Structure 1
Amino acid sequence: MTALPPALTDDHKAYLGRLGFDTPPPATLESLVALHRAHLDAVPYENLDIMLGRPASTEPADVVARLGRGGRAGYCFHQNGALGSLLVALGYDVDRRHGHVWTDPGHRFDTSLNHLVLLVRRLPTDDHLSGTWWPDVGLGEGFRDPVPLTAGQVRDPSLDFEVMEVTDEGWSFRGGVDTVRGCVATHVGLDGDSTRDLSGFDEWREVLADGQRLPLDDVPLDDLRALWDRTAAAHRAWVAAGRL
């Protein structure tokens, strides 16, 4: 007998509501794409709680509950853990995989774990008969739609990416988005790349809240200002050192 997927919890339903779904969608490729886009639109990739010195739980059930209450998720282990939990509860065939994010090509085959990867199986199309898809809402600078797990160029709605050398042991992905690291806001896109330094607390907070859609209502203003002061001091030291 095939085991039934776990039932949707109230927290799952609240999470779905935050993503704009009044009722649970069917476990189809179309729904997967819609869920993926909705999560990216509603839940920013960030590490604010870590920077504030109060790291949040990475347990999927805890993250789902936070998202259902309108809170923040966090980085990849939070984001993809929550989405994976929701997809399983909706009836999708989901695998969790070991992932490694690299920037130096020499580190491509490093086996250290620094990313949670999801695979969704059994959703074949005429162009992708294997039916295995790679959704990822935890890359930060990743793709808009789930990617068919096959080697080759991928045309995303906003950027071009490439999936490289798909084997039983794994694959690699190269690709670009708007980020805030410290006091630096960066845009990477088809219209070109740009970088600017954020000059003060009000501008920094506005970019986080409006540009990055980061919920800040639960963060005391004094805590946020203290984080800005530390961040700005580190930025000044970095600039004085030649931005190395």
Structure 2
Amino acid sequence: MTTSIAANQDKAPGEYGVRYGDREFRYHLCHLPSQKKASIRVHVHPNGQVQVDAPESAGLSEIKAAVQRRARWVLKHLDEIEERNRYVRPPQWISGESIRYLGRRYVLKVIEAPEQRKTSCKLIRGQLRVQGRNLNPARTQKAVGQWYRERALDVFQRRLEQMVDTLPWTTDRVPAWRMQEMQTQWGSCSPDGSLILNPHLIKAPTRAIDYVLLHELCHLVEHNHSPKFYGLLDRYLPEWRSVKEKLDGEAELLLQRPKDHL
């Protein structure tokens, strides 16, 4: 079974549904190692994912009852997230727009150059400059997309090499990996141990890239989202929860989803 890190929801085992009136939402249940005597807590992440943290001693009926009591609160927050995402506008690929790269914003500059046969795309002094002849939004988008992929190949490889050196189960080799555009996932780990990474991740800060890489590398030894899996994340990236929350909060902008995905 392929394990993966979702961009807007966690589809791993441990997902349950709750009905409140004529509405329903789903939540992901996590038994975290640190939750020994703590109470059951319900979280609504900025991307709309509902997560429930519970101590390992809590029974499923107890957990479901706790979530049911918070259902109205959860739905209120989900409505606010949906309203906020309603105004996420897809890029037009024209001069003056913001382009994201490694967590920073740059200004897109489209430059018509009739004498230039091949379109170029370069990051120069705070601008991502696309230069060529007969440029239109489609050609500009293609040029920026190719630039993103080239940068992603370089950055992902370097961050992956640095990370495997710090993990005891990956010091022998860098796992095989490739890129694939995905609508709901930042990355995944296949049964044969190879990684798939979303090229849109290159728009996020390097710490977020490290989190996604670590998440998938942890799946090489813990194939499910078990307490041991979260224990590995806690050990090698203690601040992973805040990094994930920020990354998920910008999922709509980074993934450039069409409106029917909101």
When normalised by structure 1's length, the TM-score is 0.22
Bigger Rg, structure 1 or 2: 2
Structure with more relative contact order (C-alpha pairs < 8 Å, separation 6 or more): 2
